[in-house]
Amino acid sequence: MSGISTALEQFVQILVGGIQSLAEGIASGVVAMAKALFLDITPATNSTPEVVNGLSVFGGIVAIFAGIGLAVALTTRVYTWVTSLGN
């Protein structure tokens, strides 16, 4: 019985290890893509680390439109709440 449980344990470890490696690879790819799209980065050299200079042009445009969308949504909610006070 010990041989079956050992084999099953090894099978589960291989399966979980493969899933973990896949998830880590996907996560590092998503992080790299987000950095490339939204941040203006000076690459690292031997003597200096990676430096974030600010938002990229695309990141700035996304932030502006997100702010406008948030303002419109909040204004709509406040307007609806104020107009419902008399009812």
Q: What is the pLDDT of residues 74-85, one digit of tens each?
A: 999 999 999 998
Q: For residue 86, which phi and psi values (nearest 5 degrees)?
A: -80, -10
**End-to-end Cα distance, the chain:** 73
* pLDDT bracket for residue 2 (50, 70, 90): low
Nearest to 40 by CA among 69, 60, 11: 60
User: Is there a contact between 22 and 34 (Cβ–Cβ < 8 Å)?
Assistant: no
Per-residue pLDDT tens over the stretch 5-57: 888 888 888 877 778 888 889 999 999 999 999 999 888 888 888 888 999 99
